Structure 1
Amino acid sequence: MSADTADSTTQVATRLFVGGRWRDGRAGRIPVTDPGNGRTIGTVEQADERDVADALDAAAAAFRAWSTTVPAQRGAILKKAATLLGSRAEEVATTLMLEAGKTRAEARGEIQRAVDTLEWNGEQAARVEGRVIGGAAAGSRRYSVPTPLGVVAAFTAWNFPAVLGARKLGGTLAAGCTVVLKAAESAPGTAAAIVQALVDAGLPDGVVNLVFGDPPAVSAQLLGSPVVKAVTFTGSTAVGKQLATLAASRLIRGVFELGGHAPVLVCEDADVDSVVAVTSPAKFGSAGQSCVAPSRYLVHRSLYDAFASRLTEHASSLRLGHGSDPATTMGALVHQGRVDAMLRLTQDAVGRGARLLCGGRQPERDGFYFEPTVLADVPHDADLMSEEPFGPIAAVVPFDDFDEAVELANAPEYAFAAYVFTDSIARREIAVERLKASNIGINQMAPSLPDAPLGGLDASGYGYEGGAEGVLSFTQLRLVSQSAPTR
Structure 2
Amino acid sequence: MYENYGLFIENRWRPAGSGETRAVVSPVTGEPVGHVPNAAAGDIDTALAGAEVAFSVWRAVPAWERGRTLAKASSLIRMRADAIARMISTETGKPLAESMGEINATADQFEWYGEEAKRIYGQIIPGRNATDRMSVTYQPVGVCLSLSAWNFPALLPGRKIAAALAAGCSVVARPASEAPGACFAIAQALMDAGLPSGVLTILTGDPGPISERLIASPVVRKVSLTGSVRVGKHILSLCAAGMKKVTMELGGHAPVIVHADADPVATAERVAAAKFRNGGQVCISPSRFYVHVKIKREFEAAFKSFAEKLVIGDGLSEGVTMGPLIRPNAVEQSLGLVEDAVKHGAKLLTGGRRPSQFNKGNFLEPTVLTDVPDEARIMQEEPFAPVAPIAGFSRLEDVICRANSVPFGLASYVFTHDDALAALTAEGIDAGMVGVNETMLATAEAPFGGIKESGFGREGGSLGIMDYLEPKYIRHRLAVRGAV
TM-score (norm 2): 0.97
Q: Is the 8 A contact 1:358 1:372 kept in 2?
A: yes
How far does residue 123 in structure 1 lie from its aligned partner after superposition? Answer: 1.0
Q: Is the 8 A contact 1:114 1:162 kept in 2?
A: yes
Partner of 2:311: 319
Partner of 2:384: 390
**2:270 pairs with 1:264:** no
Q: What are the Cα deviations for residues 350-387 of structure 1, in whole angstroms up to 9, with x where unaligned? A: 12211110011112412111110001111111110111
How far does residue 426 in structure 1 lie from its aligned partner after superposition? Answer: 2.4
**Runs of 4+ deviating beyond 3 Å:** 11-14
Distance (whole Å) between structure 1 residues aligned to residue 122 and residue 65 of structure 2: 19
Q: Is the 8 A contact 1:14 1:43 kept in 2?
A: no
Pick the aligned partner of 1:286 from 278, 290, 302. 278
Q: Relative to 1, partners in 2 of residues 1:245 and 1:425: Cα closer, same or farther, differing over 3 Å?
A: same
Partner of 1:33: 25
How far does residue 483 in structure 1 lie from its aligned partner after superposition? Answer: 2.6
Partner of 1:67: 59
Partner of 1:101: 93
Partner of 1:162: 154
Distance (whole Å) between structure 1 residues aligned to residue 282 and residue 457 of structure 2: 19
Pick the aligned partner of 2:113 from 121, 125, 131. 121
Partner of 2:367: 373
Distance (whole Å) between structure 2 residues aligned to residue 382 and residue 353 of structure 1: 9
Give the aligned length: 478
Q: CA RMSD in A?
A: 1.3
How far does residue 317 in structure 1 lie from its aligned partner after superposition? Answer: 0.9
Distance (whole Å) between structure 2 residues aligned to residue 381 and residue 136 of structure 1: 60
Partner of 1:443: 437
Q: Is the 8 A contact 1:262 1:417 kept in 2?
A: yes
Distance (whole Å) between structure 2 residues aligned to residue 467 and residue 322 of structure 1: 34
Q: Is the 8 A contact 2:268 2:300 kept in 1?
A: no
- 3-state SS of the aligned residue for 1:441? strand
**2:219 pairs with 1:227:** yes
Which range is displaced more, 331-340 or 223-232? 331-340
Pick the aligned partner of 1:474 from 464, 468, 476. 468
Q: Is the 8 A contact 1:247 1:254 kept in 2?
A: yes
How far does residue 428 in structure 1 lie from its aligned partner after superposition? Answer: 1.7
How far does residue 446 in structure 1 lie from its aligned partner after superposition? Answer: 4.3
Distance (whole Å) between structure 1 residues aligned to residue 129 and residue 373 of structure 2: 64
Partner of 1:150: 142
How far does residue 13 in structure 1 lie from its aligned partner after superposition? Answer: 6.6
The unaligned stretches of length 5 or more in structure 1 are 2-10
> AA paired with 1:30?
R
Q: Is the 8 A contact 1:455 1:464 kept in 2?
A: yes
- 3-state SS of the aligned residue for 2:24? strand
Q: Is the 8 A contact 1:260 1:460 kept in 2?
A: yes
Distance (whole Å) between structure 2 residues aligned to residue 334 and residue 14 of structure 1: 23
> AA paired with 2:142?
G
Q: Is the 8 A contact 1:95 1:189 kept in 2?
A: yes
Distance (whole Å) between structure 2 residues aligned to residue 135 and residue 465 of structure 1: 34
Pick the aligned partner of 1:346 from 320, 325, 338. 338
Q: Is the 8 A contact 2:93 2:316 kept in 1?
A: no
Distance (whole Å) between structure 2 residues aligned to residue 12 and residue 391 of structure 1: 32
Partner of 1:250: 242
Partner of 1:422: 416
Partner of 1:18: 9
Distance (whole Å) between structure 2 residues aligned to residue 248 and residue 446 of structure 1: 34
Pick the aligned partner of 1:110 from 102, 111, 115. 102
- 3-state SS of the aligned residue for 1:53? helix
Distance (whole Å) between structure 1 residues aligned to residue 470 and residue 156 of structure 2: 23
> AA paired with 1:452?
A
Q: Is the 8 A contact 2:146 2:224 kept in 1?
A: yes
Q: What are the Cα deviations for residues 278-310 of structure 1, in whole angstroms up to 9, with x where unaligned? A: 222210011010010000110111111111111
- 3-state SS of the aligned residue for 1:302? coil
How far does residue 335 in structure 1 lie from its aligned partner after superposition? Answer: 1.4
Partner of 1:52: 44
Distance (whole Å) between structure 1 residues aligned to residue 156 and residue 451 of structure 2: 19
**2:428 pairs with 1:434:** yes
Pick the aligned partner of 2:323 from 320, 328, 331. 331
Q: What are the Cα deviations for residues 313-345 of structure 1, in whole angstroms up to 9, with x where unaligned? A: 111111101112211111111111211111111
User: How many percent identity over aligned positions?
Assistant: 40
Pick the aligned partner of 1:457 from 448, 451, 456. 451
Q: Is the 8 A contact 1:358 1:373 kept in 2?
A: yes
Q: Is the 8 A contact 2:139 2:471 kept in 1?
A: yes
- 3-state SS of the aligned residue for 1:482? strand
Distance (whole Å) between structure 2 residues aligned to residue 485 and residue 101 of structure 1: 66
How far does residue 12 in structure 1 lie from its aligned partner after superposition? Answer: 5.9
Distance (whole Å) between structure 1 residues aligned to residue 106 and residue 156 of structure 2: 8
Q: What are the Cα deviations for residues 17-71 of structure 1, in whole angstroms up to 9, with x where unaligned? A: 1122111113511111222222221111110111111111110111111011101
Distance (whole Å) between structure 2 residues aligned to residue 74 and residue 400 of structure 1: 53
Q: Is the 8 A contact 2:352 2:364 kept in 1?
A: yes
Which range is displaced more, 211-220 or 149-158? 211-220
Partner of 2:126: 134
Distance (whole Å) between structure 2 residues aligned to residue 75 and residue 333 of structure 1: 37
Distance (whole Å) between structure 1 residues aligned to residue 145 and residue 331 of structure 2: 31
TM-score (norm 1): 0.96
How far does residue 14 in structure 1 lie from its aligned partner after superposition? Answer: 4.2
How far does residue 214 in structure 1 lie from its aligned partner after superposition? Answer: 1.5
> AA paired with 1:160?
F
Q: Is the 8 A contact 1:312 1:374 kept in 2?
A: yes
Q: What are the Cα deviations for residues 439-469 of structure 1, in whole angstroms up to 9, with x where unaligned? A: 1011112421111112210110001111121
- 3-state SS of the aligned residue for 2:252? coil
Partner of 1:305: 297
